[in-house]
Chain A
Amino acid sequence: MSQIGSFALLLALALSAYSFLGGLVALVREQDTSSARLSETARRAGVATFAVVFLAAVVLVVAAFQNDFSIAYIFHHSNRDLPAPYKFATLWSGQEGSLLFWSLLLSAYGLVLRLRYKTDVRLFAYASVIIAAVQVFFLLLLNFAANPFGVMQGSLPADGSGLNPLLQYPEMVIHPPMLYLGYVGFTVPFAFALSALIMRYPGEKWIHITRRWTMVTWGFLTCGIFLGAHWAYSVLGWGGYWGWDPVENASLMPWLTGTAFLHSVMMQEKRGMLKTWNMWLIFATFGLSIFGTFLTRSGVVSSVHAFAQSSIGDWFVAFLALIFATCVFFYVKNRSHLQTEHKLESLVSRESSFLFNNLLLLVACFTVLWGTLFPVLSEWVQGNKVTVGPPFFNRVNIPVALLLLLLTALGPLLAWRRTSLESLKRNFRWPAIGAVGVGLLLVVMGMRPWRDASYFYSLMTIMLSVLVALTVISEFVRGGRVIGRHTGQNLFASIVHLAHRNTRRYGGYIVHFGVIVIMIGFAGSAFNQDKEMEMGFGDKMTIGPYTLVCRSYTQDDNPNYGSEWAVMDVFKGGKQIDTLYPERRFYKASQQTSTMPRVRSTIKEDLYLVYEGLNQDTGRPILKVHLNPLVGWIWVGVWIMIVGTVVALIPNAVPVRVVAPARMHAEPVGAGD
């Protein structure tokens, strides 16, 4: 098996190297009659790369299912009793396998791109060469630095070491693929952007092509990040979903710059502005994806999520340097191609709101990067490491996030080029009154923002979220009414019609709506409560409106792990509403323990139970209980964001031209995208 896999990787390297070099020569010697044929063979070699990398991935998965512990990677990340889904997930559960998975996804993206080459043969040929270059890097790594098919030395082990217990959770099967689809996907917009710069591509067609790829990629990364948050919440048992861990930060950075790009690219499409900025934003997004991979795998920063420390960090440093040098070279050479076509006409305009939006997103990105790397910098300068944890990130990023929310509310109300202050006031008045009203209502209901900074931020987050929600709703209703007047449809049908006519704009609003639902979920964390108690039979614990009664505690055993758990009856208002079974597992192969918290989730709050273990003296279980308000909103918000992204990807319907009756007054319908 290992020989087939190793051969497949070598063949893939040869094919991708040909795709890169052959494609490059064909582009350099474009005038030659033979270049078209050479370009076509390079394209086909790129297509074939997918098939061969796919074969290598299949070999690794089959080896996991066949318990082939002669392969060191399978020995270290699987065992005989590992359930089938996790055996499949072995492909991405370790350093070498996940690099193979990365390479597989890159070749799959490359396949789609190369099959769609007729959209624009020359642009796609350039992009194909750039993707092949990136592919060559990963295949070099796989062949010479992190080979997943390395064989065990000495006698063949009877069983494997097993998968890390923290990874044995259903989301292991879906979170890494989503995250990697996001990371790897940014290679495609990067390839198109660099291609457009190299060939001085006329017009903005490449932006249209890139935007769609970027949205898909951004959608995957969003899913990946929040699946990771949900996984952390469900498995790690500390009652939280985001710990500002370096590896979490590594996924957030390209998401922030990608979000900035999705906004600012509209200025280039519509007004021919920010061309240089957009080019560098997409370069930075791709660079940060690679940088995140470097952080995760090099051992530069310590993290519970990181892969084992290895020497491949040097490879990534060299690759990052090469990417940067290439981008700078072509930018300096062709920067005259990126001249802005229009000027900014007013500070109160959609354009300036995008500028400030980009600034805030990049400041947030810088803060995350800075906080992640500061321990390393401190060690260089002071000789000792410091910790940069949640208190730092929360204090610096929460005000930035609040300003972003304010801009999210204002943005849709601003027109391109210029907006009159009168129109802004008119459209902003009722949402602002609504937001202040909700804030006052919360204070009347007992929220005390002056008691603690976290309460203050929480109140501000909710008020600004209401502001955004009301502006988004008013945009839909105003536009729907105008459509309704012209077509005679009811308001709901008119809104659907409206959204279908400009899917990107209204899909974007749905995404914004999802973001504010998530922000409200975050705001709830200011009111988290927790309690810890040793509980015997019939013991009671009260937290918030809930009373927990320990009905029993027991043990169980299966081939993969032994477990201890408690049976906890949950009462509310004197009535039993649920029974929860918080659990602690001991995995036999890896000899490691893991907690499995149990969560009763409602839209108002989560009741989160952690079985912490038995008190050795009394033999009774210790339970920690968290009451986390509004966490469910976060997961609902993510679904809304996904729906919004899908809506934004649907092609626009052709507008039905209806002649308006004479003298019909139409209210202004928003302000464009």
Chain B
Amino acid sequence: MSSHRIPLLKRMVQAGLLMVAMLVFAGAGDDSARFNDLGHRLMCACGCNQILLECNHVGCSYSDRMRAELVAAVDRGDNDDLTLQSFVQKYGPTVLAAPTKTGFNRVAWIAPYLILVLGLGLVTFIVRAWRSRPLLMPADAPVPVRGAELERFREQARKETEA
């Protein structure tokens, strides 16, 4: 049984890796797609707090110029890193719409996933701890439940199944 499962699992992992690779490398093609992609990774420097390609700030003196610079960089065939770096040189690090993945900025990306992993660990720990907690019941044979206690159990059952 398990010998059949391993190749299947292998194929699934391979298919998964292929999909991830397709997602990573797909769409790295034409200039307009690159312009669109890079333009959404840059902020307009006018202070409107908007993505470069979405800045519609009336009378904005920056966005037209920045777009023209981006078109020129894409036409020259500058790679993504070089293009973004040239904008950082000119407009400062706040021109990038997201933190880079270098130096201290890496912390920005790592922290949410770290919290997710720690949280998952914590929830798993809590679930295990609760499941292994002994029931508060007498060790000997069960005693029939009557009167107020029975009413309490009924109330509990009602709460858990109705409203």
Q: Pick the residue among B58, B94, B163 that contacts A504 (CB under 8 A).
A: B163
* Cβ–Cβ contact A673 & B49, under 8 A: no
Q: A610 at the A/B interface (Cβ < 8 Å)?
A: yes
Chain A residues with Cβ below 8 Å from B111 are 366, 370
Residues of A within 8 Å of B, CB-based: how many? 68
Q: What's the nearest-Cβ distance from chain A to residue B67, in Å?
A: 10
Partner-binding segment picked from B2-10, B69-77, B128-136, B139-147: B128-136
* Cβ–Cβ contact A370 & B112, under 8 A: yes
* Cβ–Cβ contact B99 & A355, under 8 A: no
* Cβ–Cβ contact A624 & B56, under 8 A: yes
* Cβ–Cβ contact B54 & A343, under 8 A: no
Q: What's the nearest-Cβ distance from chain B to residue A423, in Å?
A: 15
* Cβ–Cβ contact B112 & A389, under 8 A: no
Q: B138 at the A/B interface (Cβ < 8 Å)?
A: no
Q: B160 at the A/B interface (Cβ < 8 Å)?
A: yes
* Cβ–Cβ contact B123 & A355, under 8 A: yes
- Measured in the bound complex, the distance between the Cα atoms of B19 and A236 in whole Å is 38
Chain A residues with Cβ below 8 Å from B159 are 269-270
Residue on A nearest B43 in the bound complex, by CB: A387
Q: B26 at the A/B interface (Cβ < 8 Å)?
A: yes
Q: What's the nearest-Cβ distance from chain A to residue B27, in Å?
A: 5
* Cβ–Cβ contact B58 & A595, under 8 A: yes
Q: B17 at the A/B interface (Cβ < 8 Å)?
A: no
Q: Do A452 and B93 form a contact, CB below 8 Å, given A370-B111, A387-B43?
A: no
Q: Do A502 and B108 form a contact, CB below 8 Å, given A387-B97, A451-B26, A593-B59?
A: no
Q: A661 at the A/B interface (Cβ < 8 Å)?
A: no
Q: Main secondary structure on chain A at its contact with chain B?
A: mixed
Q: What's the nearest-Cβ distance from chain B to residue A111, in Å?
A: 29
Q: B40 at the A/B interface (Cβ < 8 Å)?
A: yes
Within 8 A of B (CB), among A375-426: 378, 381-382, 384-392, 395-396, 400, 416-417
* Cβ–Cβ contact A584 & B98, under 8 A: no
* Cβ–Cβ contact B131 & A344, under 8 A: yes
Partner-binding segment picked from A51-59, A64-72, A356-364: A356-364
- Measured in the bound complex, the distance between the Cα atoms of B163 and A652 in whole Å is 8
Q: Pick the residue among A303, A610, A655 that contacts B49 (CB under 8 A).
A: A303
Chain B residues with Cβ below 8 Å from A392 are 97-99, 108-109
Chain B residues with Cβ below 8 Å from A655 are 162
* Cβ–Cβ contact B123 & A359, under 8 A: yes
Chain B residues with Cβ below 8 Å from A386 are 93-94, 96, 99-100, 105, 108
Q: What's the nearest-Cβ distance from chain A to residue B75, in Å?
A: 18
Q: Do A363 and B49 form a contact, CB below 8 Å, given A386-B99, A388-B99?
A: no
Q: Pick the residue among B113, B119, B161 that contacts A672 (CB under 8 A).
A: B161
Q: A612 at the A/B interface (Cβ < 8 Å)?
A: yes
- Measured in the bound complex, the distance between the Cα atoms of B95 and A352 in whole Å is 43
Chain B residues with Cβ below 8 Å from A303 are 49
Partner-binding segment picked from A34-42, A238-246, A326-334, A478-486: A238-246
Q: What's the nearest-Cβ distance from chain A to residue B55, in Å?
A: 7
- Measured in the bound complex, the distance between the Cα atoms of B58 and A386 in whole Å is 25
Q: A345 at the A/B interface (Cβ < 8 Å)?
A: yes
* Cβ–Cβ contact B54 & A240, under 8 A: yes
* Cβ–Cβ contact A390 & B51, under 8 A: yes
Chain B residues with Cβ below 8 Å from A387 are 43, 93-99
Within 8 A of B (CB), among A573-618: 584, 593-595, 610, 612-613
Q: Do A390 and B97 form a contact, CB below 8 Å, given A302-B49, A344-B127?
A: yes
Chain B residues with Cβ below 8 Å from A245 are 49
- Top 5 nearest A-B pairs by Cβ distance? A344-B130, A389-B97, A391-B98, A392-B98, A450-B22
Interface residues of A (CB under 8 A from B): 236-240, 243, 245, 269-271, 302-304, 340, 343-347, 352, 355-356, 359, 362-363, 366-367, 370-371, 374, 378, 381-382, 384-392, 395-396, 400, 416-417, 450-453, 456, 501-502, 504-505, 584, 593-595, 610, 612-613, 624, 652, 655, 672-673
- 7 A-B pairs with C-beta separation under 8 A: A243-B51, A345-B131, A359-B120, A386-B99, A389-B49, A400-B116, A612-B58
